[in-house]
Amino acid sequence: MTLPDLSVTDASFPLNLSILNLKDKKNIIHLNDDIESKIKQTIYAYYFDVCMGDSSETQFKVRDIYVGTIRLHDTFQTLFLILFNHIPGGEVNSKVLFYDNQAKVFCDSLFDFNLHALYDTNNGKLKPSNLKQELKINSPEIELVDFDKDGRNEFKFTRLFHDGTANAIETAILKVANNRLDTLDFEQIWKED
């Protein structure tokens, strides 16, 4: 199997993928073996379970689905946003891994953060979709908030829901506690055409 070289871009909160350059060498970082292994496992799982790839890579290769990884570091948690180019459809999707900086373990849950309505891929690069531009969506995709006012950051994820006819801005506020992922808030704001 042709697992791609991991390309991990260091970024900061709030994350706005529109302005992030995944190919900028000065932001590329190297990870320890345990973290790198978990990211690779996630890539393989996406290839086999979501894209229905096969071990002989007959139709497409693992490297064809992998766009890159973004690391977002906070005091207690580090997020790894793994970007995918879904095959056969070509939609941009991602999985988010949550890493506990103190316990040095990953959260048992991961978050499926579908970006297909906001971004397209072009030669391995993300570019804003026509829909993102038409609806003038400029908000960050991931930001820090203290939603429950406990002094620890939660993570606010913003994406565009699109089903072919209707559009809504979706926000989810997630908290990591006791190695579990909890949704504290979820909202959809429907957009008028």
Domain ranges, ordered by start, for the chain:
8-191
| DSSP-assigned letter for residue 26 | G
> In terms of Cα–Cα distance, which of 108, 110, 130, 112 is closest to 120?
130
- Residue 99 CB neighbours (<10 A): 20
> In terms of Cα–Cα distance, which of 22, 92, 84 is closest to 47?
84
Question: Quick check: 191 and 169 in contact, CB under 8 A?
Answer: yes
Distance of CA 86 to the CA centre of its chain: 13
What CA–CA distance (Å, rounded) separates 193 from 186? 23
Q: Which two tokens stand for residue 3?
A: 């697992």
What CA–CA distance (Å, rounded) separates 111 from 128? 22
> In terms of Cα–Cα distance, which of 18, 6, 24, 101 is closest to 62?
6
What CA–CA distance (Å, rounded) separates 10 from 106? 18
Per-residue pLDDT of the chain (193 residues; tens, 9 = 90+): 777 678 899 999 999 998 888 877 778 888 899 999 999 999 999 999 999 888 888 889 998 899 999 999 999 999 999 999 998 888 899 999 999 999 999 999 999 999 999 999 876 678 999 999 999 999 999 999 999 999 999 999 999 999 888 899 999 999 998 889 999 999 999 987 5
Pairing relation of β-strands 66-73 and 8-11?
A: parallel
What CA–CA distance (Å, rounded) separates 109 from 120? 26
Write down the pTM of the prediction. Answer: 0.93
Name the 3-class secondary structure at 25. Answer: helix
> In terms of Cα–Cα distance, which of 7, 3, 2 is closest to 30?
7
pLDDT at 193: 58
Tell me which amino acid residue 29 is.
Answer: I
What is the residue whose two structure tokens read 């820090």?
144
